[in-house]
Chains A and B, each alone.
Chain A
Amino acid sequence: MTKILVQPINKKHIKYLNNTSIDGYIIGLKNYSIFQSLKLSIKDINKLNINNKKLYISINKPIYNNEIDDTKKQLIEISKLNITGVLFEDISIYNINKNMNLKLNLIWNQMHLPTNSLSCSYWNNKGIKGALLSTELMVDDFIKIKKDTNMIIMVYLYGYIPMFESSRTLLTNYFKYIKRFKLNKLYYLYEKVTNKYYKIYEEYNNTYILGDILNGINYLDKIKSNNIDYIVLNGVFIKEKEFNRVLNDYINNKKDDNVYTGFLNKESIFKVKKDGKK
């Protein structure tokens, strides 16, 4: 049966969510998580009341060499918590978990890289329990991967699409260049071809750009009937009232014709021949 994991907006939101039928949470770890609204220290994670739901911690920022010692300390502490697992981006997490025998259940979450059955199986053979698949896949790809592997398969079905991350402070640099102050935390890029505004912001001295709000509610039946293990709903930059409305749609499987579906039903191309065709 397909379960619902939520990336909550804040601690107060968890109180509300505890009384819904969602199955668990993905919580960010302070200083180690991106594209995540709620990021907590291990101490604060330990204090959370999650009403016996599942709890995954997301460690999904790239890890630099000088952060490895601290990463080890964090993982040791996390291994003492009663959590369901850790979603990881950086391969160092896998290596540390293995070499220090921390026995954390790991979920492969290298952002845009979990895209095929064989790579999922590769990590499964290394003891990785699951994969959160890339947002650039189609629903049929999710299904194929689930059929081909023995892993827990998670798919991102609601929330802003993580579209870009840079280790540069692109907004700060720009405002310096035009000799103005960067007054806001959040800005918008306007892109005239798509006629859309995209959120751009800095965090950890890095820059992030978000795509549109993905909503795969109309594919929920297909996902459920094909035994995808988890759907993930992300509250980052979403107003709580709106998030809860959407969550209610998911709980009640209420279709919505006015949603953006990204690549869920659209194939991307990569080889443009001289005649402009794939």
Chain B
Amino acid sequence: MEKNKIELLAPADTLEKVKWAFYYGADAVYLGGQDYSLRANAENLSVKEIKEACSYAHKLNKKIYVTVNIVFHNEDIKGLEQYIKELNDAKVDAIILSDPLVIDIAKKVAPNLNLFLSTQQNTLNYEACNYWYNEGIKRVILGREASKENIESIIKNSKMNIEIFVQGAMCVGYSGRCMLSNYFTNRDSNRGGCSQICRWNFDLYNKNKKKIKSKQRFSMAVKDLTLLPHIPELIDMGIVSLKVEGRMRSIYYIATIINVYRKVIDEYYETGKVEELNKYEKELVRCANRESAVQYFIKKPGVNEQYYSNDDLSSNKDFLGVVLDYDKKNKEIILEQRNYFKVGDIINIFGPGIKDFDVKVEYIKNANGIIDIARHPKEIIRIPCNIEVKKDYILRVKF
């Protein structure tokens, strides 16, 4: 990454996703270990895998941050010192914490380890940032409620490096201040057990306990966040890192989102503008299964930033396959298929650092010969393509 260029920070919960994120342009990846992380039910990485991820990242001059961001109960603390030592030995570039006890332990056992403050601390002002700066915290991930004006003023009044979320799902409540999961399902949200009660529908009753009758039941669900249209402003403001949410999302999602943000960031640095914003926005919309909105950046979110019908959720069938290799002699893509496509379809291919392009499927071959339809996920097949492609390029539905 160029010095002082804004960082694009991707999520991952497996070593495979770490590699995909870097391949598609992330400058850094954040991930959870198998303990102490707020996505307790994600795949998450062992210390050995974290070490491998760090080694892989550092060869590319990229970074790995590890979440140690639960709110600890006494029973959880055992083993934490050893774990932080191991993360330090694995050469992680920073750990992300929300509970201040981690600061004391890290200072004791790994004094040179960089410490970032999680959004779970819900930091929304410069005085809090200044406190954490004096505590040796190197970066604060602001609360998602921060507006543009808030962020600008925080940066102006604090030496703290500021990271914000730019894409993905978001809590309806202030982070760390929602206990619905605890009381409805006995799963502790601040220790990684959130059962996403905010996406449930409820019957609403008035003060006299008379039901509010409507086809649409009460919901507090919100659309995902996207700040893609505001990337130039975010860069100009002096934010150090743009974070994409979604440690449990698919490789297709990560590749698409990171690819788009990479292109937009690079184009703005190179030309001072972003020409094809609409196209990029469309790409983001197509790869997600939920609508997104700018949320708090420009104005306080209202009714248009909420979700009121699960009908809007869609299963994404755009992801058609992953390139395994290119047969130069026969000018064929060898790919692993993911979703249905057939001869005659026009498909779109994208990869890191290239302009995506369309290809008409003239024929499909599998191990037994010519077929008309690719309908078996994970099957290895071939399609013709005159343009040479590389391993891990992605094939998707044309749009």
Interface residues of A (CB under 8 A from B): 62-68, 71, 90-92, 94-96, 111-113, 115-119, 121-123, 135-137, 141, 144-145, 148, 161-170, 172-174, 176-178, 180, 183-194, 197, 200, 205, 207, 209, 211-212, 262-263, 266, 268-272
Q: Does B231 contact A (CB under 8 A)?
A: no
Contact across chains for A167 and B125 when beta carbons are under 8 A apart: no
Of residues A68, A141, A144, A262, which shows the largest number of chain B Cβ atoms within 10 Å of its Cβ? Answer: A68
Contact across chains for A271 and B193 when beta carbons are under 8 A apart: yes
Give Cα distance in the complex from A248 to B301, angstroms. Answer: 45
How far is the CB of B163 from the nearest CB of chain A, in Å? 16
Contact across chains for A173 and B303 when beta carbons are under 8 A apart: yes
A-B contacts, 13 listed (Cβ < 8 Å) = A65-B150, A90-B125, A90-B128, A116-B74, A116-B99, A141-B73, A148-B74, A163-B180, A163-B182, A168-B172, A177-B308, A269-B188, A271-B191
Contact across chains for A268 and B193 when beta carbons are under 8 A apart: yes
B177-214 vs A: 1/0 string, CB under 8 Å? 11110111111101111000000101111110101101
> Of all chain B residues, which has the CB nearest A94?
B131
Contact across chains for A177 and B204 when beta carbons are under 8 A apart: no
Contact across chains for A115 and B127 when beta carbons are under 8 A apart: no
- Pick the residue among B121, B146, B177, B183 that contacts A211 (CB under 8 A): B183
Q: Is the interface of A mostly helix, strand, loop or mixed?
A: mixed
List, in ascending order, chain B residues with CB within 8 A of A180's CB.
212, 214
Of residues A118, A122, A176, A192, which shows the largest number of chain B Cβ atoms within 10 Å of its Cβ? Answer: A118
How far is the CB of B146 from the nearest CB of chain A, in Å? 8
Q: Does B383 contact A (CB under 8 A)?
A: no
Q: Does B255 contact A (CB under 8 A)?
A: no
Stretch among B49-57, B216-224, B314-322, B344-352 lining the A interface: B216-224
- Pick the residue among B124, B149, B150, B190 that contacts A112 (CB under 8 A): B190
Contact across chains for B209 and A119 when beta carbons are under 8 A apart: no
- Pick the residue among A172, A183, A191 that contacts B202 (CB under 8 A): A191
Stretch among B11-19, B100-108, B261-269 lining the A interface: B100-108
Interface residues of B in 352-378 (CB under 8 A from A): none
How far is the CB of A9 from the nearest CB of chain B, in Å? 17
- Pick the residue among A113, A123, A209, A262 that contacts B190 (CB under 8 A): A113
Contact across chains for B104 and A122 when beta carbons are under 8 A apart: yes
Give Cα distance in the complex from A113 to B303, angstroms. Answer: 30
A65 and B131 in contact, given A112-B179, A118-B72 (Cβ under 8 angstroms): no
Q: Does B161 contact A (CB under 8 A)?
A: no
How far is the CB of B207 from the nearest CB of chain A, in Å? 4
Given A167-B174, A192-B203, 15 more pairs with CB closer than 8 A: A62-B145, A65-B154, A66-B153, A90-B124, A115-B72, A119-B99, A135-B179, A162-B179, A168-B300, A173-B302, A174-B308, A188-B206, A191-B200, A207-B220, A271-B40
Contact across chains for B205 and A136 when beta carbons are under 8 A apart: no
How far is the CB of B79 from the nearest CB of chain A, in Å? 13
Contact across chains for B143 and A62 when beta carbons are under 8 A apart: yes
> Of all chain B residues, which has the CB nearest A119?
B101
List, in ascending order, chain B residues with CB within 8 A of A164's CB.
173, 177-180
List, in ascending order, chain B residues with CB within 8 A of A166's CB.
172-174, 178, 220
Count, chain B residues at interface, CB 8 A: 78
How far is the CB of A278 from the nearest CB of chain B, in Å? 9
> Of all chain A residues, which has the CB nearest B121?
A91
Of residues A67, A91, A116, which shows the largest number of chain B Cβ atoms within 10 Å of its Cβ? Answer: A91
List, in ascending order, chain A residues with CB within 8 A of B207's CB.
184-188
List, in ascending order, chain A residues with CB within 8 A of B185's CB.
193
Contact across chains for A270 and B177 when beta carbons are under 8 A apart: no
Q: Does B340 contact A (CB under 8 A)?
A: no
List, in ascending order, chain B residues with CB within 8 A of A111's CB.
176-177
Contact across chains for A174 and B219 when beta carbons are under 8 A apart: yes
Q: Does B394 contact A (CB under 8 A)?
A: no
Contact across chains for B180 and A209 when beta carbons are under 8 A apart: yes
- Pick the residue among A118, A169, A191 that contacts B184 (CB under 8 A): A191
How far is the CB of A134 from the nearest CB of chain B, in Å? 8
- Pick the residue among A193, A194, A205, A269 that contacts B193 (CB under 8 A): A269
How far is the CB of B332 from the nearest CB of chain A, in Å? 40
Give Cα distance in the complex from A183 to B299, angstroms. Answer: 25
List, in ascending order, chain B residues with CB within 8 A of A191's CB.
184, 200, 202
List, in ascending order, chain A residues with CB within 8 A of B103's CB.
122
- Pick the residue among B131, B183, B204, B308 that contacts A95 (CB under 8 A): B131
Contact across chains for A91 and B128 when beta carbons are under 8 A apart: yes
Of residues A66, A163, A165, which shows the largest number of chain B Cβ atoms within 10 Å of its Cβ? Answer: A163
A92 and B127 in contact, given A115-B71, A123-B100, A272-B187 (Cβ under 8 angstroms): yes
Q: Does B277 contact A (CB under 8 A)?
A: no
> Of all chain B residues, which has the CB nearest A34?
B177
Give Cα distance in the complex from A184 to B98, angstroms. Answer: 37
How far is the CB of A90 from the nearest CB of chain B, in Å? 6
List, in ascending order, chain A residues with CB within 8 A of B104's CB.
118, 121-122
Q: Which 10 A-B pairs have the closest CB atoms?
A: A270-B193, A92-B127, A270-B191, A118-B101, A91-B128, A268-B188, A188-B205, A95-B131, A270-B188, A173-B303
Contact across chains for A189 and B214 when beta carbons are under 8 A apart: no
Contact across chains for A170 and B172 when beta carbons are under 8 A apart: yes
> Of all chain A residues, which has the CB nearest B134?
A95
Contact across chains for B153 and A190 when beta carbons are under 8 A apart: no
Contact across chains for B220 and A91 when beta carbons are under 8 A apart: no
